[in-house]
Amino acid sequence: MTTVNFNELRLAEPLLRALRAEAHDKPTPIQAAAIPHILAGKDVLGTAQTGTGKTAAFLLPIMHALAGSRSRPNAPRALILAPTRELAAQIAERAGAYGRFIGLTSTAVFGGVKEGAQLAALSRAPDILIATPGRLLDFLNQRRLRLDAVTHLVLDEADRMLDMGFVRDVRRIVAHLPKSRQSLLFSATMPKDVLALAGELLRDPVRVAVAPAEIVVARIDQKVFFVEAAAKRGLLVKLLQDPRLSRVLVFTRTKHGAKRLAMQLEKAGVESDAIHGDRPQSGRVKALAAFRSGNVRVLVATDVAARGIDVPDVTHVINFDIPNVPEAYVHRIGRTARAGAGGVAWSFCDGAELENLRQIERLTRTPLAAANARPSQAPAPVRENARPARRRTPRKRGWRETRAAA
C-alpha cells in the first residue's frame, strides 16, 4: 500500500464520501499510479490483475470527469468493455457503490439474460455502460443504442478479451466511438497481441503497472501437493476436513470436471456448487450468492467462469488441475488475496502436469513449496529471480484451450 491518500488525489467530495462508506482508506498502488494520469486526461495502459483495485482505479476518475452533466437516453458517455458477464456485473456493482453520492448512473449489458430489462435500463439514460462485446454489438446492430457520446472508453482484462476471441468485436465496437475520447486499457499480462491492440486504441498512453509476480509472491501462501490424478479427489476431501478451509474456491480445467467434482463433493457431505460456461446466468448468480453468504462452502469453477468473481474472504484457492496457461495460475490465486488481504493457494499436480507447473514457477519467478516430496522426474524448481518464461504455447492455442474449458 502507498502513503498517498484519496484526498491528495483530488477526487470530488461525493466520491471521497463513497470511498469512506466502502472503507477504502488508502489508494492501492494501481490506484495511486493511475488515477492522477486519468484525471489529467491521459490515455493509460495499465498492467494489473483483478484484486489489485483496478476497477476503482478507472471508475473513480471517470466519474469525477462525468459529474455535473447528464447523458441522453441510449447514449452513455463512458463505455467499459469486459470479457465476461461476471466481470461486467462486478464492475457494475462497484460503479453503483462508488457513484451513489455523485448523481451518476450506470448499467450493464451482457448475454445469457433477456434483452428487455437491459434495453429499458439503457433508455433511462445511464452515464456509464458496462458491457460484454457480444450483447453490445447486438444492440448496436439493432440500433438500440449509440456510442457517439462516449468520451471515456475502458477495455478491462484485455488479455482475457483476446484469449476469448473478442478482438474483432472490440474493433467493430470501437468503430462506433468518437475518435476524440480518453481510452484506458487494463490487462493482467501484456503479451504482444494486447500491446498491438493498445497501439490501435490508445493515444500516447502512460504505462502503469503492478506486476502480477509481485502480488503473487508477496501475499499468498502457496503450496503444491504432488499427487496422482486418481487420488486428487480423496486428497481434497481430506483437506476439507479442516474447518479453517471455510470458503474455498476450487479450479478445474474443464466444465465437465467442475460439474462432476461439485457433485462428488456433495456426495461426500461437503456443501458445494459449480460455475462454468454451460450453466445459465441465473444459476451462476445463485451459486455465487450462496458462496458469498457462506451457505455453500466450496465453489468449483473453470477459469473463464471465474473471471470477475469478487468474493471477499476466500480462505483457500485450490487448483485441482494445474492450468495449462501459466497466467491463469496468477488469475486464479489472486482470488484469495483481495486488496491487501493474504490468502492460501494450494495446487494438486499429477505426473502429466509437471511441465505446466514448471511454466508457472518460471512466470512467477518463485519455486512453489512442496507439501510432499517432489517426484524424481519433477523438474527442479527454478531459481528465484530467474527471468520470466517466454510463452511456451503459441497464443492462439492458449485461447482455444481456455475457451474450450469455459
Q: What are phi and psi of 347, to 5 degrees?
A: -125, 135
Sheet holding 248-251, edge to edge: 272-275, 298-301, 248-251, 316-319, 343-349, 220-226, 369-370
How many amino acids of this chain bind ligand AMP (CB under 6 A)? 15
What is residue 377's three-state secondary structure?
coil
Query: Does the footprint of ligand AMP cover residue 55 (CB under 6 A)?
Result: yes
Instruction: Tell me the closest approach of the beta carbon of residue 28 to ligand AMP, in angstroms.
Output: 5
With contacts defined by CB under 6 A, name the span among 22-30, 66-74, 136-144, 261-269 that binds ligand AMP. Answer: 22-30
Measured from the CB atom, the residue of 4 and 239 that comes closer to ligand AMP is: 4
> Cβ contacts of residue 8 below 8 Å, gap of 6+?
none
Measured from the CB atom, the residue of 27 and 367 that comes closer to ligand AMP is: 27
Measured from the CB atom, the residue of 95 and 405 that comes closer to ligand AMP is: 95
- Which residue in the set 27, 29, 46, 133 belongs to the binding site for ligand AMP (CB under 6 A)? 27
Instruction: Tell me the closest approach of the beta carbon of residue 226 to ligand AMP, in angstroms.
Output: 32
> Cβ contacts of residue 288 below 8 Å, gap of 6+?
86, 275, 299, 309, 311
Measured from the CB atom, the residue of 86 and 310 that comes closer to ligand AMP is: 310
188 neighbors 161 (Cβ within 8 angstroms): no
Query: Does the footprint of ligand AMP cover residue 84 (CB under 6 A)?
Result: no
Q: Which amino acid is at 345?
A: A
**Which string of b and e fits 276-297 if b means at least 16 CB within 10 Å?**
bbebeeeebbebbebbbeeebb
- Which residue in the set 14, 16, 18, 24 belongs to the binding site for ligand AMP (CB under 6 A)? 24
Q: Give me the residue label for grid cell 464492475.
A: 91
With contacts defined by CB under 6 A, name the span among 24-32, 215-223, 225-233, 397-405 that binds ligand AMP. Answer: 24-32
Instruction: Tell me the closest approach of the beta carbon of residue 106 to ligand AMP, in angstroms.
Output: 15
Instruction: Tell me the closest approach of the beta carbon of residue 57 to ligand AMP, in angstroms.
Output: 7
What whole-number distance in Å separates Cα of residue 221 and Cα of residue 341? 11
Residues 317-356 that bind ligand AMP (CB under 6 A): 338-339
Give the DSSP letter of residue 388. P
Q: Give me the residue label for grid cell 456433495.
A: 266
Measured from the CB atom, the residue of 239 and 339 that comes closer to ligand AMP is: 339
162 neighbors 81 (Cβ within 8 angstroms): no
Query: Does the footprint of ligand AMP cover residue 56 (CB under 6 A)?
Result: yes
Measured from the CB atom, the residue of 186 and 225 that comes closer to ligand AMP is: 186
What whole-number distance in Å separates Cα of residue 298 and Cα of residue 315? 10
What whole-number distance in Å separates Cα of residue 62 and Cα of residue 129? 12
Measured from the CB atom, the residue of 249 and 270 that comes closer to ligand AMP is: 249
- Which residue in the set 14, 29, 46, 51 belongs to the binding site for ligand AMP (CB under 6 A)? 51
DSSP alpha helix (H) spans, 277-378: 281-293, 303-306, 326-333, 354-364
Q: What are phi and psi of 52, to 5 degrees?
A: -95, -5
| Stretch 301-320: interaction string toward ligand AMP, x if CB under 6 A | ---------x----------
Query: Does the footprint of ligand AMP cover residue 53 (CB under 6 A)?
Result: yes
Instruction: Tell me the closest approach of the beta carbon of residue 156 to ligand AMP, in angstroms.
Output: 9
What whole-number distance in Å separates Cα of residue 196 and Cα of residue 242? 47
Instruction: Tell me the closest approach of the beta carbon of residue 53 to ligand AMP, in angstroms.
Output: 3
Measured from the CB atom, the residue of 166 and 186 that comes closer to ligand AMP is: 186
Measured from the CB atom, the residue of 1 and 120 that comes closer to ligand AMP is: 1
Query: Does the footprint of ligand AMP cover residue 212 (CB under 6 A)?
Result: no
Q: Which residues bind ligand AMP (CB under 6 A)?
A: 24, 26-28, 31, 50-56, 310, 338-339
